[in-house]
Amino acid sequence: MILNKDEYESVFGNTETETAFSESLQSSDSSSRATFRTSSRRADAEANLAAKIEQAKAMQQMREQQAKLNKLESELKLKEAQMLAEIKLKLDEEKTRLQQLLAENEVKVAVALVKAYNAYDGPENCEQKTDHKVQYLCQNNESTSCAISTFKYKT
């Protein structure tokens, strides 16, 4: 058997439970909540500030590192350009030297040919002895002036 509450009241009669809070307790609770919210906001703000400070430090370090990289790249490009210029200068000097050697060789070949023709003509044509000069221009290493080389031979 189940008892119906409406039919049978409490042994103590009809009771209603009310919780009464004093005004000071309610205002204290409200103040406490406000303080908690303020503290929570302050902690959030401090955490946010600390994060932003660390982020700013990291950004500064990245900028400094990028500046170092840019400087090194500039130095590399400058050194590459200097080395390339030196190599080109040496190459030009060697080309000039080769041209000079070729010109000297052509003169030597021409002198040898003249001597060979004179020897072929025989001793009867050797009575006329003359100085022949073969001149050619050769450039010096700086390609700024010319030197004249003279070969003398008797025919």
For residue 33, the model assigns a pLDDT of: 75
What is the longest distance spanned by two Cα atoms in the chain?
A: 171
Q: What angle do CA 49, 51, 55 make, to 5 degrees?
A: 115
Stretch (H or E) spanning 120: helix 23-121
pLDDT tens figures, 79-91: 999 999 999 999 9
Domain ranges, ordered by start, for the chain: 24-121+129-154
Report pTM: 0.42
Residue 140: the pLDDT is: 40
- φ and ψ of 141, to 5 deg: -65, -30
Report whether 132 contacts 118 (CB < 8 A). no
Q: How far apart are CA 76 and CA 44, in angstroms?
A: 48
Which of the pair, 31 or 16, is modelled with greater confidence? 31
